[in-house]
Chain A
Amino acid sequence: MRFRIRYSKQGLMKFIGHLDMMRYFQKALRQAGVEVSFTEGMSPHMSMSYAFPLGVGMTSDSEYVDVDLDIPLSSRELVGRLNRAAAEGVHFLDARVVEPGKANKGMNLVRRADYTLYFREGYEWEDGWKEDFAGWLDQESIMVLKKSKKTEKEVNIRPLIYAFDLNPDMRCVRGICDETAEEGADPTASDYDAPGDLFLALSAGSENNIRPELVMEAYASASGRAFSPYSFQINRDEVYTKSGDHFIPLIKLGKQL
């Protein structure tokens, strides 16, 4: 039975890279005594897949991994067991059964991701930037040179910015009002003790993926403001798929058991 597990990754865990996170997760499952199915073949490995790798340095309230379990557990039992084995900074929030058709393969489900950005100390922009930023977004087209390992191309990022909020309310964007969170779960066990400086909802997935840093670098460059890769501490708030016209969090494709 395939379970989708949602967890937060905060604190020191933000320095743990994606591959190490996958290795950690396997150990956590073993420590928790959860019996995961193994693949067939010459070198059997745990049957699991990740939705959307998180960059080193970013925190998240909503990470997703799908695992196949030999012996199904209730959602509550699975989350409870995993939390007892969890590393500091990792908090398991929910586990739901997903139909094979809605199973995740790589990034195929991902359409949108929400981020909250915080200025790192010493990198703040002077007052007034928010109005200016809103004005910058009030254009139909914002062309940005997007570089990948092989290619460089001009992309209009404006349609890929779905929403923004210059005064994000911490409680709602940070997932606390998400009724899906397991009772007693504490997504505020994080680095953040104040609302962020900016909220962005961006296109994500294998096509049209844009990183929040790309948006901020483009704005900084257009407005003549200083930008460094360390300017912002970024939190990923939620990852969505699309169903009809609606974006829905990946966890909601599943049913609690």
Chain B
Amino acid sequence: MKKRLALSDEILLSVDKPERYLGNEGNVIKKDPSSVDIRFAICFPDVYEIGMSHLGIQILYEMFNRRPDLACERVYSPWVDLDSLMREKEIPLFALESQRPVREFDFLGITLQYELCYTNILQILDLSGIPLYASQRLHQKSCRPGSGRPDQPAVEKNAPEQGGLQDPQAASGENVDYSDSLLLGEGAPIVIGGGPCAYNPEPIADFFDIFYIGEGETVYDMLFDLYKSCRQEGVTRIEFLRRAAGIEGIYVPLLYRPEYYEDGRLKSFTPLMEGVPARVKKQVMMDMDDAPYMDLPLVPFLRVTQDRVCLEVQRGCIRGCRFCQAGMIYRPTRVRSLEKLKKQADIMLSSTGQDEISLSSLSTSDYPYLPELVDYLISRCGPEHINISLPSLRIDAFSLDVMSKVQDVRKSSLTFAPEAGSQRLRDVINKGLTEEDILRGAGDAFRGGWNKVKLYFMLGQPTETEEDRKAIAHLAEKIAETYYEIPKDQRIGKCTITISTSFFVPKPFTPFQWAPMFTPGDYLGFASTVNREVKEMLNHKSIRYNWHEAYVTVLEGLFARGDRRVSSCIAAAYRSGALFDAWTEYWDWNRWLKAMEETGIDLFFYTRRTRKEDELFPWDFIDAGVSRNFLLKEWQRALEGQVTPNCRQKCSCCGAARYGGGVCVIPKECIGDGIPAVQKDNTGEGACRMPEGGAEESVRTVSEDGTGGTAL
């Protein structure tokens, strides 16, 4: 029998869902590794079904593979059953397409979509036999797969081939030995991180050689060309990294040093070499019609979480909710043209044979050509029995009409995300949804035949009081009353209103980046207030209430706004068995408490402290497009309960206009009621005047004592 897989039949037939490890999906791209100059392993550090559902990786996979000199292959986290078999048998982690070990590759690119995948990153490196720390990789070629989490640490200690979590000096990023670095290509792959969590990469900075800040469509080609020329020239690994740091958007953590005050706050963050910029600029793909999109989406055999064709209609969001990181870091809002989307939908539906297409964006209702696009899709998909799914639609007359055309009203539920129960708090978070909107939407929906409503809220937001929490129950009650106002013969049984609350985690580059968090006990108290109040309601039998894990929220908070010192805690937790933390069945709070204790990480400092307005944050060296002045102004307005209009109503001078496009330069045909024209000017700054100092001034915040911004 022909052998073509990294795993034996015995292993594949004994683990759950062997389809995860085959690499034989429809439209897969397989290239002969010896026929290319660059081999790139692209990784989603979670299980296959989650990773395969991610749009960004699919776009980059096809884009990278369009280069004839590059082969891009995929890697996902082996599930726990295979994880332990691979450790036991010392099978190195492999990429799916060629089934070859990851450590042979030139690059390992890991997408960072949520904080709770951080221990899975260590799993990927460890199972690959790649030394965990970027500083180790300067000198050490590889290590034994699985040695980063030895079963018997005492025996393994000081074994030369081990992954080396035992070296705190190397771990801290201090005293890194830059001399006698390995030649580029001699050692482990260059490990790159990207995606939303790269906007505060510091808690995992020690594990990465490079972070790519922003959208992947822009400078990867430059990085690949640099890699090829550096290989030809025969330069060292550190020299390649130094040159890479010169590319806009590329951050090389090894080349920066943080210093801290005695109280633990960040004092300065300084580049260590000449040519390494003090600030790293976010990359933005401005022309969305020109941006590469996939013609041949992968078609998995296994049923994955998003098992459908995904059409990204626009990027960014005009709304400016103050808790939302995506709404800030993807500015400015950029739309794809109707023509482009129609064409792309046709191409992808024919090339995949999928029976469902979904529109993707942060707020699909804000896509200007939505009615035309939906009409087109209905006429294209209806006769072929292809379903259309429309997530993130605002509930109004238009969306109800559309939804009744594309889905079975009786089976589907309506989703509202008011995020806060009271109007006062919704103003604080700048969620431009009023109670009137919700009740009108729900009433229309009930009369249209729906009887299931889902409501999403967050608890623990800035300025939130007991009254705000109770208001969640009151809002659900009012919706139920709206339903029972409909004459009995015109409604279908009872209505079901499901309230879900998560606990709020302040994220970098949002107006709430200054906000304090609470203890897990506090959070559970907030949830219990809501729960008790729901039970008091007249229609409580029609209302269900679910709340999220409180402990996990606090850990997310630690990672979201952590600094470089947090990495030691992540490594310690991984070593003691932490993995798949996003999966409740594998998550263990006590393990994390122990890891924090061992590594001296003070949870209060990172999560519950109120940060001063002028505190230097670990992520301030990144220029994310929105200025710190804007975020601070929004934080102050939040505390005063003042709402800020959306980008189409009025420009708020966030700083994103300097990219010279998107919603900041509104096309003439869109100018109308309430939508002002903003002229693009030639400076690239947009007509929007920067607030005093603007982007230029914010460079100064990189260091409070004025030493930042200059090379060492």
Task: List the interface of chain A (C-beta within 8 A of B).
Answer: 11-13, 15-17, 20-21, 23-24, 26-33, 38, 42-44, 56-57, 85, 87-89, 118, 120-121, 191-193, 229-230, 233
Contacts of A26 in B (CB 8 A): 353, 355
26 contacts between A and B (CB under 8 A): A11-B24, A12-B5, A12-B22, A15-B12, A20-B303, A23-B303, A24-B26, A27-B299, A27-B353, A28-B353, A31-B351, A31-B352, A31-B353, A32-B353, A33-B350, A56-B13, A87-B26, A89-B24, A118-B1, A120-B9, A120-B10, A191-B1, A191-B2, A192-B1, A230-B13, A233-B1
Q: Is the CB of A31 within 8 A of B19?
A: no
Q: How far is the CA of A17 from the CA of B300 in the complex (A)?
A: 13
- B589 interfacial contact with A, CB 8 Å: no
Q: How far is the CA of A27 from the CA of B26 in the complex (A)?
A: 10
Q: Is the CB of A88 within 8 A of B24?
A: yes
- B354 interfacial contact with A, CB 8 Å: yes
Shortest distance between the CB of A80 and any CB in chain B (Å): 17
Contacts of B604 in A (CB 8 A): none
- B302 interfacial contact with A, CB 8 Å: yes
Q: How far is the CA of A17 from the CA of B352 in the complex (A)?
A: 20
Closest to A16 in B: B301
Q: How far is the CA of A33 from the CA of B349 in the complex (A)?
A: 11
- The winner among A12, A20, A193 for most chain B CB atoms within 10 A is A12
- The winner among A30, A38, A192 for most chain B CB atoms within 10 A is A30
Task: List the interface of chain B (C-beta within 8 A of A).
Answer: 1-2, 4-5, 9-10, 12-13, 18-19, 22, 24, 26, 299, 301-303, 350-355, 384-385, 408
Contacts of B5 in A (CB 8 A): 12
Q: Which of A12, A15, A27, A43 contacts B354 (CB 8 A)?
A: A27
Closest to A55 in B: B13
Besides A11-B24, A15-B12, A23-B303, 5 other A-B contacts (C-beta < 8 A): A20-B19, A31-B353, A32-B353, A120-B10, A121-B1
Contacts of A56 in B (CB 8 A): 13, 18
For the complex of A and B, 3 pairs with smallest distance between CB atoms: A27-B353, A30-B353, A31-B353
Contacts of B353 in A (CB 8 A): 26-32, 85
Contacts of A28 in B (CB 8 A): 353
Q: How far is the CA of A27 from the CA of B303 in the complex (A)?
A: 13
Shortest distance between the CB of A213 and any CB in chain B (Å): 12
Contacts of A57 in B (CB 8 A): 9, 13
Closest to A42 in B: B408
Closest to B383 in A: A35
Contacts of B18 in A (CB 8 A): 15, 56
Q: How far is the CA of A20 from the CA of B302 in the complex (A)?
A: 6
Given A57-B9, A230-B9: A31 touches B350 (CB 8 Å cut-off): yes
Q: Is the CB of B352 within 8 A of A43?
A: no
Contacts of A233 in B (CB 8 A): 1, 9
Q: Is the CB of B1 within 8 A of A20?
A: no
Q: How far is the CA of A199 from the CA of B617 in the complex (A)?
A: 71
Closest to A36 in B: B385
Q: How far is the CA of A13 from the CA of B24 in the complex (A)?
A: 8
- The winner among B5, B299, B301 for most chain A CB atoms within 10 A is B301
Q: How far is the CA of A56 from the CA of B17 in the complex (A)?
A: 10
Closest to B2 in A: A191
Contacts of A44 in B (CB 8 A): 385
Given A12-B22, A20-B303: A27 touches B352 (CB 8 Å cut-off): yes
Q: How far is the CA of A89 from the CA of B4 in the complex (A)?
A: 13
Contacts of A43 in B (CB 8 A): 408
Shortest distance between the CB of B215 and any CB in chain A (Å): 30
Q: How far is the CA of A174 from the CA of B303 in the complex (A)?
A: 32
Contacts of A192 in B (CB 8 A): 1
Closest to A194 in B: B1
Q: How far is the CA of A16 from the CA of B302 in the complex (A)?
A: 8
Given A43-B408, A230-B13: A38 touches B301 (CB 8 Å cut-off): no
Contacts of A229 in B (CB 8 A): 13
Closest to A233 in B: B1
Q: Which of B2, B19, B352, B354 contacts A16 (CB 8 A)?
A: B19
Contacts of B26 in A (CB 8 A): 24, 27, 31, 87
- The winner among B19, B352, B353, B408 for most chain A CB atoms within 10 A is B353
Contacts of B12 in A (CB 8 A): 15
Shortest distance between the CB of B48 and any CB in chain A (Å): 13
Contacts of A30 in B (CB 8 A): 353-355, 384
Q: How far is the CA of A30 from the CA of B352 in the complex (A)?
A: 8
Q: Is the CB of B301 within 8 A of A20?
A: yes
Contacts of A42 in B (CB 8 A): 408
Contacts of A85 in B (CB 8 A): 353
Closest to A24 in B: B301
Contacts of A29 in B (CB 8 A): 353
Contacts of A230 in B (CB 8 A): 9-10, 13
Shortest distance between the CB of A65 and any CB in chain B (Å): 15
Q: How far is the CA of A202 from the CA of B299 in the complex (A)?
A: 36
Closest to A30 in B: B353
Shortest distance between the CB of B5 and any CB in chain A (Å): 7
Shortest distance between the CB of A88 and any CB in chain B (Å): 6
Q: How far is the CA of A11 from the CA of B4 in the complex (A)?
A: 9
Closest to A15 in B: B18
Q: How far is the CA of A47 from the CA of B2 in the complex (A)?
A: 36
Shortest distance between the CB of A71 and any CB in chain B (Å): 13
